[in-house]
């Protein structure tokens, strides 16, 4: 187990290095540098040149890269040109919102997706199963942002039951009950938009997993021994069918963190995805750059997490 995790970590390291190099080069391709936001005509050119040298902007790329990485390890991610604040602070403001949105969405995905998949697999070819399969078919073909727009139109504007933008109502004391309720209220539409489309994969995997497990010998044996149907499904079939889904948990969570760009945009939800789009359109590339690095890092982490979870729930994988 530990050996597997270590070996898996070993693969992660070069990926991280490559990612950082890519982001570094993207950063140097983007217009502007650390001084862009601070220069105004009253500053003499020599002063700018001196400052550039002090910051090491004229060094060869590998030295700049090394400085950049070292600075990041010391917690210095540069300054946002647009906000005139450290990038980390700007992102920090939005981070929590996105985490809430993702957690809420994952929760709904499993809350609805698992029962649907189980029912669909257990009562295969029934009317209910056909309805669920039809739904997954539709879900696969619907882009999240289209679905989000339609939900916003229907429930946000037409019926007016949910707030249409933002993450919390204005003028509420942070930490009070009203504040938390308002937060949840703002989360409902975005997270359902993500979850109702995102759960189709889970449903399909679980359905086929259940159908496959039904025909395994150990299930036949349990049935022959007289295990009750419900217990059979819960204790024997479900536990095996859940393996691939458990394995994708890491991808799912991280995918949502990144995939929420569309939904945050549609609902004007102040998360990191929206921040990324804003920083691109305001040419605030220092923020955009750190966000790409952050998301890439998360994806690598998600893959790592998934593999480790898989090795826990399915010991056979460790042998490799």
Partner 1 sequence: MSRKDEELNNEAHEEQTDASREEQARQNRQASAEQSTSRDSGSADPYGNRRDDRIYGSTEMSTHMKSDMPPGAGDHGGLDYKTLPKSTPGWKVIVQELIADKLALFSLIIFVSITAYVFGLTMFLDQAQIVFVDLFAINQPPDEEFRLGTDYGGRDIFGQLIIGTRNSLAIGFLVTLMSVGFGIIYGLVSGYFGGQLDNALMRVVDFFLVLPFLMIVIVFVTIVPSYDIWTFSAIMAAFLWMGTARLIRSLALQEKELDYINASKTLGSSPVKIIFSQLMPNLVGIIIVNGTLSLAANIGIESGLSFLGFGFPEDYPSLGTLLAYATQTQTLQNRWWIWLPAALMILILMLCVRNIGEALRRAGDARQRQS
Residue (26 or 112) nearer to partner 1, CB = 26
Give the SS3 label for residue 242: coil
When asked if residue 296 is in the footprint of partner 1 (CB under 8 A), the reply is: yes
Provide the b/e sequence for 147-162 (b: ≥16 CB within 10 Å).
Answer: bbbebbeebbeeeeeb
Residue (50 or 131) nearer to partner 1, CB = 131
Tokens of 239: 């536990």
> Is the distance from CB of 241 to CB of 206 less than 8 angstroms?
yes
When asked if residue 124 is in the footprint of partner 1 (CB under 8 A), the reply is: yes
Q: Give the whole-angstrom CA distance, residue 169 versus residue 188.
A: 14
When asked if residue 205 is in the footprint of partner 1 (CB under 8 A), the reply is: yes
- Residues 244-263, one symbol each (x = binds partner 1 by CB under 8 A, - = not), give ----x--x------xx-xx-
When asked if residue 207 is in the footprint of partner 1 (CB under 8 A), the reply is: yes
Tell me which residue of 115, 152, 108 sits closest to 256, measured CA to CA. 108
Instruction: For residue 123, give every residue at least 6 positions away whose Cβ sits within 8 Å of its Cβ, in sequence order, or none.
Output: 129
Tokens of 177: 């009950």
Residue (43 or 137) nearer to partner 1, CB = 137
Q: Give the whole-angstrom CA distance, residue 280 versus residue 34.
A: 16
The end-to-end CA distance of the chain, in Å, is 12
Chain residues 132-191 in contact with partner 1, contact rule CB under 8 A: 133, 137-138, 140-143, 145-146, 149-150, 152-153, 157, 164
Residue (103 or 292) nearer to partner 1, CB = 292
Q: What is the DSSP letter of 158?
A: I
Within 10 A of 194 (CB to CB), how many other CB atoms are there?
Answer: 26
Regarding beta strands 79-80 and 85-86, do their DSSP bridges make them parallel or antiparallel, or are they unpaired? antiparallel
When asked if residue 280 is in the footprint of partner 1 (CB under 8 A), the reply is: yes
> Is the distance from CB of 30 to CB of 285 less than 8 angstroms?
yes
As measured in angstroms, the least distance from the Cβ of 42 to partner 1 is 30
Provide the b/e sequence for 87-100 (b: ≥16 CB within 10 Å).
Answer: bbebbeebbebbeb
Residue (180 or 268) nearer to partner 1, CB = 268
- Residues 212-231, one symbol each (x = binds partner 1 by CB under 8 A, - = not), give x--x----------------
When asked if residue 299 is in the footprint of partner 1 (CB under 8 A), the reply is: yes
When asked if residue 276 is in the footprint of partner 1 (CB under 8 A), the reply is: yes
Among positions 91, 151, 196, 300, the unique one binding partner 1 when judged by CB under 8 A = 300
Provide the b/e sequence for 284-307 (b: ≥16 CB within 10 Å).
Answer: bbbbbbbbbbbbbbbbbebbbbbb
Residue (154 or 234) nearer to partner 1, CB = 154
Among positions 288, 290, 307, 311, the unique one binding partner 1 when judged by CB under 8 A = 288
As measured in angstroms, the least distance from the Cβ of 211 to partner 1 is 5
When asked if residue 271 is in the footprint of partner 1 (CB under 8 A), the reply is: no
When asked if residue 240 is in the footprint of partner 1 (CB under 8 A), the reply is: no
Q: Give the footprint of partner 1 on this chain (CB under 8 A).
A: 11, 14-15, 18-19, 22, 26, 29-31, 121, 124, 133, 137-138, 140-143, 145-146, 149-150, 152-153, 157, 164, 200-202, 204-205, 207-208, 211-212, 215, 248, 251, 258-259, 261-262, 265-266, 276-277, 280-281, 288, 291-292, 295-296, 299-300, 303
């Amino acid at each position: 187990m530990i050996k597997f995790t270590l070996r898996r970590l070993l693969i992660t390291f070069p990926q991280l290095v490559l990612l950082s190099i890519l982001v570094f080069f993207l950063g140097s391709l983007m217009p502007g540098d650390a001084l862009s936001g601070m220069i105004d005509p009253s500053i003499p050119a020599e002063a700018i040149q001196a400052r550039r040298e002090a910051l090491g902007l004229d060094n060869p790329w590998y030295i700049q890269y090394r400085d950049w990485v070292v600075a990041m390890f010391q917690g210095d991610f540069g300054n946002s040109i647009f906000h005139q604040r450290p990038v980390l602070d700007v992102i920090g403001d939005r981070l929590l919102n996105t985490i809430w949105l993702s957690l809420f969405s994952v929760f709904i995905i499993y809350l609805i997706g698992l029962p649907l998949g189980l029912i669909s697999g257990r009562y295969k070819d029934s009317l209910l199963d056909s309805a669920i399969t039809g739904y997954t078919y539709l879900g696969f073909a619907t882009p999240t942002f289209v679905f989000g727009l339609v939900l916003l139109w229907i429930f946000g504007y037409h019926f007016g039951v949910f707030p249409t933008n933002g993450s919390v109502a204005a003028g509420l004391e942070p930490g009070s009950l009203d504040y938390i309720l308002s937060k949840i209220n703002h989360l409902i539409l975005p997270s359902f938009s993500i979850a109702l489309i995102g759960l189709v994969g889970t449903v399909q995997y679980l359905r086929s997993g259940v159908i496959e497990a039904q025909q395994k010998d150990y299930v036949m044996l349990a049935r022959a021994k007289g295990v009750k149907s419900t217990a059979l499904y819960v204790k024997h079939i479900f536990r095996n069918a859940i393996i691939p889904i458990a394995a994708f948990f890491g991808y799912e969570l991280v995918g949502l963190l990144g995939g929420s760009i569309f939904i945050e945009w549609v609902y004007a939800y102040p998360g990191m995805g929206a921040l990324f789009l804003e920083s691109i359109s305001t040419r605030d590339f220092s923020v955009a750059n750190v966000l790409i690095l952050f998301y890439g890092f998360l994806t690598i982490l998600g893959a790592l997490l998934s593999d480790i979870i898989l090795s826990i729930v399915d010991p056979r994988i460790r042998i490799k």
